[in-house]
Structure 1
């Protein structure tokens, strides 16, 4: 049946103000419902996390409940299987190291939920707490042994978060860290952008100093003279250069350029020395514009997006031709007694140990 020409014309007409209002009202209702649903889940998780984060023992006991729920109850396993798993791993799970790491992980999840319940511009109020939590994690880091990986892994993928399906409720949470020990990421994505304005230069410089002091402590905790030398000779000068670039973009050219000259004078063998000298010459002569905070932030976000796309295209991280399924199976055998698989401890000869480490660090 032919459609009248007048009907076709009507379909191509712009929306009327009334129609737009009706559609926007519908969207707002849907949005309210979605947010309400997420808030309900988050509220339950928040209450549970706060109770469990009160002590190492509480965190340990809560971890057992969550692990049992995810790996035994929901899979229809027998109670005896859970008891066997718990008995095999009691020494590690009940250790101070594990309890400390889980308590700090819970504190980070609490902050994450609170951040999700705020608008992005309102999250500035959480920055002091986030920095304090990082300090606490860094202080504990040298003493928690193999539990270090807990604080370096994505918290929203942890057993605590999985029980409440927390990740699905945080889709709108942008520019927030994945773990409390992702110090570089926290400063670059969460803290520094808040202070990159001409009105908050003092706070920005303080943030840079705090970041460098925290990264120094992390490297020191590794007890590796090689790592310390690498940080001192390569990484720290780079961080200082980036700090001085922020100072330059803030309009503090005299101080910034003076500090840059001192930096290149004291680091003539640095891998970036040629680039720094060329840029510095341009800044001093006025031939090169350092750009604005906004331009620098745009470039950072573009680089971040490109990096995420690269990771999505190569999820295995380019770890050679190792069969990732074999590595995953081997990892399951090593994971705290292996849950229901009886705690296989051997690694097949055809599995690359680096593949194991990569999968292990994702947990």
Structure 2
């Protein structure tokens, strides 16, 4: 009897283990199915949130007054919205900053900022709604024309750029307008208010500010226009260099002018030629580089430039003509 009871217990235990295993397999299958559904729902919600933000900001960015309104509203929600006395403090902030908010400088900067964040949101949507290369170039050109001095002759490429100034047909008088728009787009009140930081963390453009003229040109505009093989890149290069030439002449500082003409300008021209080469016009780029070397025999980068060009023009290059006997 004892043996029979033991056998029965063992049988029940084995059966229970089999049932538990079957249930575990069944739970696993359901979990995988549920995970897939959650993933699809999350992707759909993410796309919806980004599309809504991009649409709203794109529409607002078309109008200066609407841009200021949208920015100030997001600023209120982020900085004052969660406090009990938030509305009172926000109204006081508006009074304290009334003249600045109403100024043309703030309006122009806010409009550019809204436009840039809208482009970043669209970039996060990737192939579905990502901006064309020309749209990034157009943004940069508008930003460029909004300021008096685009960059000082000795300024490094990653330096912080002053806030955008009054818009119009050309570069305008420089005025102090605060640093509202110097922060990266990822930290913008527009992004924080809509709680879309997580969707933009992997977007390189979100790490730049809407006012960072040189980084946007080097990290966003140049690679995109190069990839598109757009000759518009050469036009933007010429616009940038011509403006710096003009600014140096206006400043009339001998040392600064010499530093620009002897050091920075040749480097900019070399980078321009590099872009031309990467776009496929190797012969034209090499000819320009030869001209730069001839005109700047004492430049600190001369040796590295020569080595670079010698490598490009080396034996076996398909672009070289055959040697005559």
Check whether the contact 2:134–2:225 (CA below 8 A) recurs between aligned residues. no
Question: Which residue among 138, 148, 152 is the counterpart of 1:132?
Answer: 138
* 1:207 has 2:233 as partner: yes
Partner of 2:84: 76
Moved over 6 A (4+): none
Check whether the contact 1:53–1:103 (CA below 8 A) recurs between aligned residues. yes
Partner of 1:277: 306
CA distance in 1 between partners of 2:183 and 2:246 (Å): 20
Partner of 1:32: 40
Check whether the contact 1:183–1:211 (CA below 8 A) recurs between aligned residues. no
Instruction: Give 1:184-223 correspondences, 5 Å limit.
Output: 184-194=214-224, 196=226, 203=230, 206-214=232-240, 216-217=242-243
Q: Which runs of 5+ in 2 are unaligned?
A: 1-27, 149-164, 167-174, 319-325
Q: Cα RMSD (Å) of the superposition?
A: 3.7
**Alpha-carbon distance, 1:80 to partner:** 2.6
Check whether the contact 2:200–2:206 (CA below 8 A) recurs between aligned residues. no
Going from structure 1 to structure 2, the CA distance change for 1:210 and 1:170 (only over 3 Å counts) comes to same
Q: Greater share of helix residues, 1 or 2?
A: 1
Cα deviation, 1:276-324, whole Å, max 9, x if unaligned, reads 23433444453999xxxxxxxxxxxxxxxxxxxxxxxxxxxxxxxxxxx
Going from structure 1 to structure 2, the CA distance change for 1:62 and 1:220 (only over 3 Å counts) comes to farther
* 1:116 has 2:124 as partner: yes
Compare CA radii of gyration and give the structure with the larger one.
2
CA distance in 2 between partners of 1:51 and 1:70 (Å): 21
Question: Which residue among 69, 94, 97 is the counterpart of 1:61?
Answer: 69
Cα deviation, 1:54-96, whole Å, max 9, x if unaligned, reads 4322222223322221111213324332222211111111111
Instruction: Give 1:344-359 correspondences, 5 Å limit.
Output: none
Instruction: Give 1:150-189 correspondences, 5 Å limit.
Output: 150=180, 152-174=182-204, 178-189=208-219
CA distance in 2 between partners of 1:252 and 1:191 (Å): 19
Q: Which runs of 5+ in 1 are unaligned?
A: 1-18, 290-363
Instruction: State the number of aligned residues.
Output: 263
Partner of 1:326: none
**Alpha-carbon distance, 1:118 to partner:** 2.4
Partner of 2:16: none
Going from structure 1 to structure 2, the CA distance change for 1:206 and 1:133 (only over 3 Å counts) comes to closer
Check whether the contact 1:105–1:180 (CA below 8 A) recurs between aligned residues. yes
